[in-house]
Structure 1
Amino acid sequence: MVLSSKLLSSVLLAVTYASLSAAFVANGVPNHSTHRTRHISRELKLETFHPATTYETFGHGLASDVSLDSRAPKDLNSTAIAFVKSRLGLEDGKVAYRSGFTDNNQKFAYVRQNHNGIPFINAVANIAWKDDKVVSFGSSFVKPTTIASSKATVSASSLISKVEEAFDATYNGWPTTTQYLVKADGSAALVHTIQVQNEAVNSWFEVYVDAHSGEIVSVTDFVAEATYKVLPITKRAPTEGLQVLVDPQDTVASPAGWHTAGTTSYTTTQGNNVIAYKTSLTGTTAQSATGLVFNYTYDDTLAPTVTANLNAARVNAFYLINTVHDLAYRYGFTEASYNFQVDNGSNGGKGADPVRISVQDSGGTNNANFATPADGQPGTCRMYVWTYTSVRRDGALENDIVVHEMTHGITNRLTGGGTGSCLQTTEAGGMGEGWSDALAEWTEQKSATITDYVLGDYVTDDAAGIRNYPYSTSTTTNPLKYSSVKTLTEVHNIGEVWANILHNVYAALVGKYGFSATAKTNPDGTEGNIVYLHLFIDALKLQPCNPTMVTARDAWIQADVNRYAGANKCLLWKAFASRGLGTAAASYVDSALVPSGC
């Protein structure tokens, strides 16, 4: 979500899985890391709960003599289960493998707690290996005080109408499942999972209903609210000038180009990675001349809805989502790691899930959003018209807004192994907003000169943009630091803290290693912006479900060990510590400490 904010120390794991008492925060510290309040309607408010996550990183990896299960043979399934059982002291049948993938010399596995053959929704773990040694392990496994019978007494089909009414939405036909859900009181409920959507208001929920009592107990919200002739991705707004780009696709990431999906080719704003439309999926923009020429000029002195402007908006949206798909692919957001494509070929993951981007969506104004369901279901981005100017402006023509939204899809898919449901706590949701701002900033950097960054200034016609402060290395310009989170409750405000921390990490890396102008298509360089985006993407794969800023920081440090043998350890620690995320940072208390030797 790109909504205007103005409008509105790792814990070492025990050998047994955690008691639920660890999930609650005392002494007035907000429980952003385990809870989030969802206001579904005036009548329905749900306090969603996610058990506290513990997270370990192991530098160059657990030595093979620590445990035979720390190694990763070809059978990732059994190895992941064996490692978690050994690490947490669990019996057979208590761990279920969900998914995993291999990326060069790294392997990633995602598992769930299990009882009587039924997996838990929110008690999960993730393991990463490098060179067949475990390098990180995150877990929210719990020991429930009570656990419901595994045989449902109320059918899922009998509950669909109740869920539809409560959420003012319609069951979307996605198969229902039965799973366990850990509740904040320590019990484990057996629940049916039912997906409902309301296209008119762009709501998309996975609802968890007690399979014995029929009570709605929790929810996952898939929507991250917000926030040819095109505006090149390095630019922010039409004031910088549209350009005609010839063959901008990256054929490494999109080998069949942008207009072919499987055996079907299109001459519209539709292809393997994205379909850009208005009102309905058939409302695409056709080529303006044969040979896939899309040459439409945008005139912001005219209403966004005039035909030429609408066509230009769809073309720009199509170009941007494809470009972010391609650059993210280069850095590791591939089919196997749960990206968005109609046809995955033989490269792993689930297909049939391109991004659908609705331009000038009628569901709202002055905003944008992105719904990220699990791998295999299309992501949906909605771009709205903004009303702050006398002639309204189109969010699809401010590049940072579109990139911000697409990044929600990336972070929600890479965190937790493709579920789309691992950035659901208040803190993790806020960090999602921060990552989205940070990648938008990355795409618009043009040189090694580090300048303050403002987002959303075109659609609002306000030089200050839509955030409270510019992102800056200056504590005078932007005073936000880790401890600021303690007084914040709104996810965009929390996201500003994380985005500004990442701005300082970016500045440190580019300041040391320089800038590559070809970073979007060549990830093999040693320049600072390339190093930054590698660590950005790598850390998402490593971090646990519902991360905190502390565990996400640790994932960045571990990602540097995995990819660069820890060459940037001190630089990263100093950058994080400069905004309060030093080694002793915890419970929103700042730390400027860095490891010995730094």
Structure 2
Amino acid sequence: MVAFNKVLSSVLLAIAYSSVASAVQERSASESLKHSTHRVRHISRELTLEVYHPESTFETFGDGIEQKLEARAPRDLNSTALAFVRSRLGVDASSVGFKSGYEDGREKYAYVKQYHDGVPFANCVANIAWKDDKVVSFGSSFVKSENIAGSRPTVSAASAIAKAEEAFSGKHNGIPTSIEYLAQADGSAALVHTIQVQSLENQLWYEVYVDAHSGEVLSATDFFAHASYTVLPINKKILTEGQETLVDPQDTVASPSGWHAWGTTTTTTTSGNNVVAYRGAQTSLTSQSATGLVFNYPYTATAAPSTTANINAARTNAFYVINTVHDFTYRYGFTETAFNFQNDNFGRGGAGNDRVLVSVQDASDINNAGFGTPPDGQNGICEMYLWDLTTPNRDGSLENDILVHEMTHGVTNRMTGGGTGRCLQTLEAGGLGEGWSDALAEWTQHKSATVRDFVLGDYVTNNPAGIRTRPYSTSTTTNPLRYSNVRGLNSVHRIGEIWGNILHNVYAALVTQYGWTANARTNPEGTQGNVVFLHLFLDALRLQPCNPTFVTARAAWIQADANRYGGANRCLLWRTFASRGLGLNASGFVDNTAIPADC
């Protein structure tokens, strides 16, 4: 989600430093763990949940480690993954179960769930990556618990559904409920009914965990991560840069049937295999303005967004932008087997019937935007709103950085943790999600090797400073944010600004080193800095553990470079991360500028 209002006030946390340094370190370590394992969710006036996710460990192995024959890839990815997890964690076969996995060239990825008595854990997952049959990374949030509830529920699913609907002011959406274990902060494991509850008019979509013995609501996953076509080309950010008419912008490598066909279905509306863009109801679409899939609907900024022409322009632009992000992220690894959004997966694996539903000028909110990312096989939902800070109001669907930001939530939530939508749920991981979304929005806007400061949301707010507290910048005067600034923050958007600015600096370093190409969206084989950046961006997502921290997300970038580029950018990355406090020994939101000795 994009935070669209400036912070009105700041809470200044005064820390009285003790003469005993260890006291400060203990407090910092405690806060760091809280950020990486907890998140407070205010569901309603009556219900506040402090949700818990077990701390993830993450190991990277550079060039990779050899495994015994029975635990090596490839043979059977399922059994190979299970054998490695059993060996690495010292658990028996009944404690692990294969969730998902896929191959991508010389690399393989697998996601494994923890089990007890045949029941999976909802929040305990391991992920393994191989390159050339060697394990290059391993993440795990498995737990050891002796206090485990009985595996047979004593509260019915119907009763749990009613409890979830009442607590969350929504309705069970028909997705079958399941029985899972939920690891708790006190070391116990509760048996829960897992239930999806929705109320899209209220921008609400939760996976609720109701204790299957007591009927108590214990936790929840929030699936919403609240930020020829006449359109704003993807490398233009705002309406004042001028619309253009683009001919055949689809990438048929990523969308082999184009944007308007899947299976035996073809359309002449803003509806296709990857995206449907509508207003109000999913049948309220924009139809071609002339035969041959011509969508020529210029937007008139001096008219109200609700005029027919402007509604058509909004739907067309949203359809174009979300499809374009689908296509270029596909080129870089967000494919069917990596849990992307498509109705028809063309027999390439993954779960289909989950294209993105984009609701433009959505009436459920204002001055905002949101994206709901459920598990692979369920539609992603993007809600775009109007902004009432000007007269006439402005439409978020005509500011491309907002659309890209929202679609990126779908990418990061699907690629982290194996397509469950559950693995960016802690406060710190949610902050990283906001940073990634800003960074990819910025990536689409660069027009040359010159890396300028970047602001988000300046058009809809009519404010050149945009919606973040500072521009993203390589200048420590313009933007002094560092890893240590995470300490004390309780807003995912404020935390996201720190990660977004670190990635801005990583991008700048790579482009300075290798240059820039305008063909990056369709040529992932290039050697230029913007190509390298996007490869590492997406590669790191599938390497990192469930609910990553700044430290483990950084480690995933370093390992991604080892996998794809043989570590060619290792020292560049370390220097850049360290320049903003995320050095070799950074932890607990204490800055560190150390880099490896050989750098």
Q: What's the TM-score, normalizing by structure 2?
A: 0.96
> Are the structure 2 counterparts of residues 172 and 489 from structure 1 closer, same or farther at C-alpha, using a change threshold of 3 Å?
same
Amino acid at match of 2:7: L
> Are the structure 2 counterparts of residues 199 and 558 from structure 1 closer, same or farther at C-alpha, using a change threshold of 3 Å?
same
Match of 2:431 in 1: 430
TM-superposition CA deviations, 1:378-398 (whole Å, max 9, x none): 000000001111210000000
Q: Shift of residue 422 of structure 1?
A: 0.3
**Off by >2 Å, runs of 4+ in structure 1:** 23-30, 67-70
Amino acid at match of 2:60: T
TM-superposition CA deviations, 1:195-240 (whole Å, max 9, x none): 11002112000000001111110000000013x0000000011100
Amino acid at match of 2:389: Y
2: CA distance, partners of 1:25 / 1:192 = 35
1: CA distance, partners of 2:75 / 2:389 = 56
TM-superposition CA deviations, 1:414-451 (whole Å, max 9, x none): 00010011000000001000000000000010000011
Q: Please tell me whether the aligned partners of residues 70 and 134 of structure 1 are also in contact (alpha carbons under 8 angstroms).
A: no
Q: Shift of residue 586 of structure 1?
A: 0.3
1: CA distance, partners of 2:427 / 2:89 = 27
3-state SS, counterpart of residue 253 of structure 1:
coil
2:477 pairs with 1:476: yes
> Are the structure 2 counterparts of residues 27 and 90 from structure 1 closer, same or farther at C-alpha, using a change threshold of 3 Å?
closer
2:216 pairs with 1:221: no
Question: Is there any run of 5+ residues in structure 2 with no aligned partner, and where?
Answer: 9-25
Q: Please tell me whether the aligned partners of residues 231 and 397 of structure 1 are also in contact (alpha carbons under 8 angstroms).
A: yes
Match of 1:360 in 2: 361
Amino acid at match of 1:244: T
Q: Please tell me whether the aligned partners of residues 573 and 582 of structure 1 are also in contact (alpha carbons under 8 angstroms).
A: yes
Match of 1:538 in 2: 539
Amino acid at match of 1:590: D
2: CA distance, partners of 1:401 / 1:27 = 35
3-state SS, counterpart of residue 315 of structure 1:
helix
Amino acid at match of 1:4: F
* Aligned positions, number: 581
2:389 pairs with 1:384: no
Amino acid at match of 1:463: P
Q: Please tell me whether the aligned partners of residues 273 and 325 of structure 1 are also in contact (alpha carbons under 8 angstroms).
A: yes
Amino acid at match of 1:224: A
Where do 1:49-448 residues align within 5 Å? 49-64=52-67, 67-68=68-69, 70-226=71-227, 228-448=229-449
Match of 2:39 in 1: 36
2: CA distance, partners of 1:314 / 1:408 = 20
3-state SS, counterpart of residue 121 of structure 1:
strand
3-state SS, counterpart of residue 474 of structure 2:
coil
Question: Is there any run of 5+ residues in structure 1 with no aligned partner, and where?
Answer: 9-22
Amino acid at match of 2:56: T
2:7 pairs with 1:7: yes
Amino acid at match of 1:291: G
Amino acid at match of 2:75: K
Where do 1:476-495 residues align within 5 Å? 476-495=477-496
Q: Shift of residue 165 of structure 1?
A: 1.1
Match of 1:552 in 2: 553
Amino acid at match of 2:435: G
Amino acid at match of 1:352: N
3-state SS, counterpart of residue 220 of structure 2:
strand
2: CA distance, partners of 1:70 / 1:115 = 22
Q: Shift of residue 73 of structure 1?
A: 2.1
Q: Shift of residue 24 of structure 1?
A: 11
2: CA distance, partners of 1:525 / 1:258 = 25
**Structure 1 vs Structure 2 CA RMSD:** 1.2
Match of 1:20 in 2: none
Q: Please tell me whether the aligned partners of residues 192 and 212 of structure 2 are also in contact (alpha carbons under 8 angstroms).
A: yes
3-state SS, counterpart of residue 200 of structure 1:
helix
3-state SS, counterpart of residue 581 of structure 2:
coil
Amino acid at match of 2:250: Q
Match of 2:17 in 1: none
> Are the structure 2 counterparts of residues 26 and 438 from structure 1 closer, same or farther at C-alpha, using a change threshold of 3 Å?
closer
Q: Please tell me whether the aligned partners of residues 386 and 460 of structure 1 are also in contact (alpha carbons under 8 angstroms).
A: yes
3-state SS, counterpart of residue 32 of structure 1:
helix
Amino acid at match of 2:287: A
3-state SS, counterpart of residue 361 of structure 2:
coil
Q: Please tell me whether the aligned partners of residues 155 and 213 of structure 2 are also in contact (alpha carbons under 8 angstroms).
A: yes
Q: Please tell me whether the aligned partners of residues 417 and 545 of structure 2 are also in contact (alpha carbons under 8 angstroms).
A: yes
Q: Shift of residue 160 of structure 1?
A: 1.3
Amino acid at match of 2:446: Q
> Are the structure 2 counterparts of residues 116 and 267 from structure 1 closer, same or farther at C-alpha, using a change threshold of 3 Å?
same
3-state SS, counterpart of residue 381 of structure 1:
strand
Q: Shift of residue 92 of structure 1?
A: 2.3
Match of 1:48 in 2: 51
Amino acid at match of 2:53: H
2: CA distance, partners of 1:70 / 1:127 = 12
TM-superposition CA deviations, 1:442-493 (whole Å, max 9, x none): 0010000011001000000000000000000000000101000002110000
2:503 pairs with 1:502: yes
Q: Shift of residue 159 of structure 1?
A: 1.8
Q: Shift of residue 368 of structure 1?
A: 0.1
Q: Shift of residue 289 of structure 1?
A: 0.4
> Are the structure 2 counterparts of residues 3 and 212 from structure 1 closer, same or farther at C-alpha, using a change threshold of 3 Å?
same
Q: Please tell me whether the aligned partners of residues 3 and 366 of structure 1 are also in contact (alpha carbons under 8 angstroms).
A: no
2: CA distance, partners of 1:24 / 1:80 = 37
Amino acid at match of 1:7: V
Q: Please tell me whether the aligned partners of residues 274 and 322 of structure 1 are also in contact (alpha carbons under 8 angstroms).
A: yes
Match of 1:14 in 2: none
2: CA distance, partners of 1:341 / 1:24 = 46
Q: Please tell me whether the aligned partners of residues 577 and 593 of structure 1 are also in contact (alpha carbons under 8 angstroms).
A: yes
Relative to structure 2, which stretch is displaced further, 84-93 or 156-165?
156-165
Q: Shift of residue 589 of structure 1?
A: 0.5
2: CA distance, partners of 1:70 / 1:501 = 37
Match of 2:521 in 1: 520
Amino acid at match of 2:90: G
Amino acid at match of 1:62: I
Amino acid at match of 1:6: K
2: CA distance, partners of 1:239 / 1:552 = 36
Q: Shift of residue 7 of structure 1?
A: 3.5
Amino acid at match of 1:579: R
TM-superposition CA deviations, 1:514-558 (whole Å, max 9, x none): 001100111111000000000000000100000001001000000
1: CA distance, partners of 2:582 / 2:288 = 50
1: CA distance, partners of 2:303 / 2:289 = 20
3-state SS, counterpart of residue 571 of structure 1:
helix
Match of 1:456 in 2: 457
2: CA distance, partners of 1:169 / 1:476 = 46
3-state SS, counterpart of residue 103 of structure 2:
strand
Relative to structure 2, which stretch is displaced further, 443-452 or 70-79?
70-79
Amino acid at match of 1:408: H
Q: Please tell me whether the aligned partners of residues 119 and 179 of structure 2 are also in contact (alpha carbons under 8 angstroms).
A: yes
Amino acid at match of 2:86: K
Q: Please tell me whether the aligned partners of residues 69 and 86 of structure 1 are also in contact (alpha carbons under 8 angstroms).
A: no
